[in-house]
Amino acid sequence: MSLNRRTEALPIAIFLVLALAPVAASFGAETYLLGLFTRVMIYGIAALALDFLCGYGGLVSFGHAAFVGIGAYTAAIFGAHGVSEIAITLPVALIVSALFAYLTGTVCLRTKSVYFIMITLAFGQMIYFVAGSLSPYGGDDGLTLPLRSTLFGFPILENDRALYYAVLAFLLGSYLLLRAIVASRFGRVFRGSKENPTRMATIGFDVFRYQRVAYVIAGCIGGLAGFLLANATEFVSPSYMSWQRSGELIIMVLFGGIGTLHGAIVGAAAFLLLEDMLGGVTENWKLIFGPMLVLIVLFARGGLLGLASSIKERLSRG
Amino acid sequence: MAEPVLKIDNLRKNFGGLVVTDGVSLDIHAGELHAVIGPNGAGKTTLINQISGTLAPSDGRIYLNGADITTLPPDRRAHLGLARSFQITSVLPRFSALENVALAVQARSGSSYQFIGRADRESALNDAAMAALTEVSLDARADVLAAHLSHGEKRALELAIALAMQPKLLLLDEPMAGTGPEESERLIVVLQRLKGRFAMMLVEHDMNAVFALADRISVLTYGRILASGKPAEVRADPAVMTAYLGEELE
């Protein structure tokens, strides 16, 4: 897993495409396309955080949508009380996500493998039902945001294009941050804990504590995604944190290529765009999507990124 | 006499009705290499696991430099100067040999809660790791992924990881296991060079290695110490002859 020879071309291309997409969109159904790509990037942020946990730490969380929901509900609940100031709501969203990650992580990280998957799922479902029972905030029906977040009173996200670029900036920031963490001292310990926790303990690392910090980092980034999602859709509901959402995030990570970070963005894009396109063809789009996913997992172990590089290899071999 | 580096006092471990460590007491002094031998299933690895903290004893105490470490988790023991190698090779397969060792250096040099700055470019960590690799003659293979090293090289890598921890006590669980005669020779030379620098406990089936290296030998059978003493004494002990050595030395 050499970090030195990481190919930079693909991540740069991904961000270039995302930066230029609004220009292309202005020739078509602009509002619709901007909305779609904003959602792609928001789920990209959530999937990045999950790839950090699964791909680098071996921690397959089946409850990651909980953090998306927490971030979204923080924005919406503040909105319901007339507070839309980013300088207040975003830090609170991150702190609540971090707290939830710290508390549940303390329990979840005592378990391994399939038990970890099940217990993260359980916590995810717990928060899902809590959100559904918040009757002052819409209960199962969810609630609408009165307006998008403002910064120091200015409605900077009111324009769809402005929101798009704000989300892009957060995606780029999350990507660069996680990349730096993966290569850092902390990241090395975290990656080592995936490879061989016993060895890591016997050379002097308290694996649990490092994993918990990583879980909190991933939780915060998930919360950030939720905060942005609430702004993009101007609506939140418990369905944001249902277990299906958590499953979709895992699918995005696998689909794009686990353990690469930028693969998670590709996976989120592929998933949501396919959903959009296939959804236009038939209501039962998952009938088509399901087999595609199976094929990708069976024949392209590294997801779409792995598929692309193995095709490239074959072509260059002639 | 000075305080022993490792003092085990009446250690017991049972899994239900099965007693695997049955009142073991032994001392290892600074610079001493103490070999523990015994037939398969005698409880040697179980003993090492209890000393390194991956297994909790049922009764008895373990002291490292006079400090009671019986209930400390493995990572705390590592910081007190305890290092170990594993019977079944235990390295980080998808890390390079250098990074495997650099992590051990990192564990005792500054905080590992640093989230920016590339760890693989920290020259202080890499230099110390390289020095440890050089000591086990693995420096030429520093950039090779641990998964791609030969079995003997992996055993040497484990030793380098342990060295990088600058231990006060090194537990070696069958470092020669599965290595060919040439590689065993090489490891014996390496261990001979290290002898005296810190206390070592060597669990080993290779009697050549044991008699070439050990200052003292304890013979473990059925979780109990049958005999303990200088190599010559142990070799001459009639109980040991019948219980264990006879067949091996024939």
What separation in angstroms does the CA of B11 have from each of B50, B56, B192?
9, 10, 29
Give the Cα separation of A39 and B153 in Å (integer): 50
* B88 interfacial to chain A (CB closer than 8 Å): no
Give the Cα separation of A305 and A13 in Å (integer): 13
| ipTM summary value | 0.84
Name the domain boundary from B117, B132, B165.
B165
Q: Count the alpha carbons within 13 Å of A213 in the hemisphere toward its beta carbon.
A: 16
Tokens of A24: 């292309």
pLDDT at A5: 46
pLDDT at B215: 94
CB A151 within 8 A of CB A86: yes
Give the residue, B151 or A266, on which the prediction is more confident: A266
Q: How confident is the model at residue A30 (pLDDT cuts 50, 70, 90)?
A: confident
pTM score of the predicted model: 0.89
What separation in angstroms does the CA of A283 have from each of A40, A67, A269, A288?
20, 29, 20, 11
Locate the chain A residue with the closest alpha carbon to B164: A203
Q: Which domain holds residue A127?
A: 35-243
**Mutation target vs A (from B75, B86, B161; most A CBs, 10 A cutoff):** B75
CB-nearest partner of B115 from A3, A180, A205: A180
Q: Per-residue pLDDT for A287 more than 60?
A: yes
A66-82 confidence digits (pLDDT tens): 999 999 999 999 989 98
Total count of domains within chain A: 1
Tokens of B169: 């006590």
Residues B207 and B217 in one domain: yes
For residue A13, tell me if it sits in a domain: no
Residues B4 and B49 in one domain: yes
Residues B172 and B242 in one domain: yes
For residue A292, tell me if it sits in a domain: no
CB-nearest partner of A188 from B108, B111, B119: B119
pLDDT at A2: 41
Residues B137 and B173 in one domain: no
DSSP B145-156: BGGGS-HHHHHH
Q: Per-residue pLDDT for A3 more than 60?
A: no
Q: Which domain holds residue B249?
A: 1-81+167-250
Give the A window 148-207 contacts with B, CB below 8 Å. 180-181, 183-189, 191-192, 195-196, 198-207
For residue B87, tell me if it sits in a domain: no
How many angstroms separate the CA of residue A198 from the nearest CA in chain B? 8
pLDDT at A239: 93
Interchain CB distance below 8 Å, B83 and A210: no
Instruction: Quote the longest CA-to-CA distance of chain B.
Output: 62
CB A192 within 8 A of CB A200: yes
- How much of chain B, in percent, has pLDDT values that exceed 70? 97
Residues B172 and B156 in one domain: no
Total count of domains within chain B: 2
Q: Count the alpha carbons within 13 Å of B94 in the hemisphere toward its beta carbon.
A: 13
For residue A233, tell me if it sits in a domain: yes
pLDDT at A4: 40
A141-191 confidence digits (pLDDT tens): 889 888 888 888 788 888 888 999 999 999 999 999 999 999 999 999 999
Interchain CB distance below 8 Å, B75 and A3: no
For residue B120, tell me if it sits in a domain: yes
Interchain CB distance below 8 Å, A203 and B113: no
Which alpha helices (H) appear in chain B, and where do they start and end? Answer: 44-52, 74-79, 97-106, 123-135, 151-164, 181-194, 207-213, 231-236, 238-240, 246-249
* A5 interfacial to chain B (CB closer than 8 Å): no
The list of chain B residues with pLDDT below 70 reads 1, 244-250
pLDDT at B130: 95
For range A201-209, the mean pLDDT: 93
